[in-house]
Amino acid sequence: MSKAAMVALYARVSSEQQNKRGTIESQIAALRERISADGAQIVDDMCFVDAGVSGATLIRPQLERLRDCAALGAIDHLYILSPDRLARKYAHQALLMEEFTACGIQVVFLNHAIGTTPEESLLLQMQGMIAEYERAKIAERHRRGKLHGAKRGSVNVLSGAPYGYRYIRRQLDGTPARYVIELPQAATVRAIFQWVGMDRLSIGEVVRRLTESGTVTASGKPYWDRSVVWGILRNPAYMGRAAFGKTQSRDHLQVRVRAQRHSSDVPRKPHSTTRTDPQDWIEIPVPAIISEALFQSAQEQLAENRKLARQRRETVPLRLLQGLTVCGQCRYAYYAKKVSKAAAKGHQRDYAYYRCVGTDAYRFGGQRICDNLQVRTDRLDDLVWQQVVELLRHPERLKSEYERRLDMMERHETRGFDMSNLEKQRLQLEKGKSRLIDSYSDGIIDKTDFAPKMQQLKNRLEQIDQQILESRQQGAVQSELYLVINRLEEFASAVTEKLDTIDLETKRKIVLGLVKRVEIHKDEIVVVFRIDPHPGALANENPNDSDDGVKSMQHCRRSNYSHSRRAPAVSAARCQSRRAGPAPNPPTATLQCVRARPPHRSAPHRAGPARCVRLLAACACHYGSATCTGGHPAL
């Protein structure tokens, strides 16, 4: 082999095989030794290693990078320990091998020689299917073995010891695995059950007592989370009966309502875990820390606490913007909190505050993560409601704005590309890509010519795909705009007749249909409006149908306004506003910005920096970059 040849290696090991033969270090060492024996050299950037990633899926970080490099023609030889390291499923193996072959890559398996005869290809296929079968058989044997051990009462099948116990492994002399009570932690467990089962305390009060007493968790943290205490109170192991089979794994993924904070949008594993019916649990005897009577008393109190919490939620005053307010700094939600008796200082305080979750130190181990200000609920509710009323009473403003945007989109469409022409261009580029790969595989062109041409084709394909996507989305948005324009006045007239007499619940339904969120910053409040393409649903007081399939893209142009700091409350009607200078192209949004005193201030001498309330209309044009096709800046 020529030393100039580009050599790469791929190694993979799943988390359940770390301690078995063929770990990631031994794989890399064996592959490097084989590469050196073949007279080649490898650089560190060409070592693709997926550690702790299952081979049952193709979504692997290093495998994705390997395939990208292969498509660019940057690899001549690829070394892998065995076919099952490449993929566990035969279908995935065949797909990857076909892809590597099309890119002109010679794949070398250390434990299997690849031939060119039909018999050798059949052998490779059979090995892939056998590896897939072996994996399924091992998983089934593992499940059946643990199930059999649980029925025999073996503690060895449990994943680990809960708080209050210490897990003792199975000994070489045949002594079975067991739980041993940790006396200091067991005392804490007894106190938790005593507080809930006998003293009738809530989980929140238990958390406060544990934190104030300096009791540390199993991981050594000085603060406790409610979910940890709840898990302790629900675990039957503390009364001497540990449960096996409380959860089960499913192949499908649970759909996340929103991406988890500080984590990827895509789960690492292609399956989800769900809780099973308690009747299907298998009980395993372990040393008891509390009595069964105390455990059952705690369960009854938990049920009572849930009932009381449900009743409190029903009696808590409904807030107009409940569930819509979000912090502009930490992105946590704002929640409504009444003024405490200590803060009221003996005065009657009927109002509450919207408060950021990130400012609650007790939620984050005694240290707040956000310093944003709280806002009075009555003033912010009135401010947002007045803007909603203004919008409903003057629907012609929004209608004219949407007609302008629709006209702009139609003019843009006449200057744009024809959809059929784009499809033809894409087909020609795909054919050119295939011909280029064939020419490189046959040796007609060398690698120095192949790589830049392939990159040009990929870039052009990405541009064509983006143009096709924009054309399709623009057509869908145009249809929605026609519905909005034709039914906006009808919807507004049906609602504005009773704006002065409707109750809070109806107000909230209207706000949920028109307002997407309210972002609270230190120096401004941003109200993001949402326009439903089917406004009749709101008139029928069914806000649940207003958010399905709606594209909400926002824009706003800032303007300068003066205001009176002596106003006792924030109100758009009391703000003296003036239009700013001529707006650049595109024209300004119909909805205006009002600048007023911060809603959380009440006394004139305490008035702080002014807050700007930005009303953002739902922009129907498509974002392809930092600005939409109409030139409006992204939020």
Enumerate the active-site residues. 14
Residues in the chain, total: 635
Cis amide prior to 586 (ω within 30 degrees): yes
What is the C-alpha to C-alpha distance for residues 8 and 43, in angstroms, rounded to an integer? 8
Phi, psi values for residue 618, rounded to 5°: -75, 115
- Name the amino acid, one letter, at 519: E
Q: Residue 92 corresponds to which amino acid? A: H
DSSP 265-306: SS-SSS-EEEEPPGGG-EEEE---SS-HHHHHHHHHHHHHHH
Half-sphere exposure of residue 364: CA atoms within 13 angstroms, side-chain side: 11
Could you tell me the CA-to-CA distances from 574 to 47, 352, 407, 565 in Å, in that order? Answer: 67, 23, 35, 10
Task: Identify the CA nearest to 322 among candidates 294, 364, 355.
Answer: 355
Residues 346, 218: Cα–Cα separation, whole Å: 42
Between CA 241 and CA 512 the distance in angstroms is 48
Cβ 603 vs Cβ 610: under 8 Å: no
CA distance 391 to 380: 17
Report the distance separating Cα 569 and Cα 602, nearest Å: 7
Local structure of 605: helix, strand or coil:
helix
Return the DSSP state at 169. P
Helices (H), 78-117: 83-86, 90-102
Bridge-based pairing state of the strands 611-619 and 553-555: antiparallel
Helix (H), strand (E) counts: the chain: 16, 19
Each as own residue / partner, the long-range contacts of residues 121-128 (CB below 8 Å, 24 or more positions apart, any chain) are 124/83, 124/93, 124/97, 125/90, 125/94, 127/83, 128/83, 128/84, 128/87, 128/89, 128/90, 128/93, 128/94
Q: Where are the alpha helices (DSSP H) in 115-182?
A: 118-151
Q: Interior CA angle at 539 toward 533 and 543, to 5°?
A: 70
Beta-strand relationship, 594-596 and 611-619: antiparallel
- CA 494 to chain CA centroid, Å, is 38
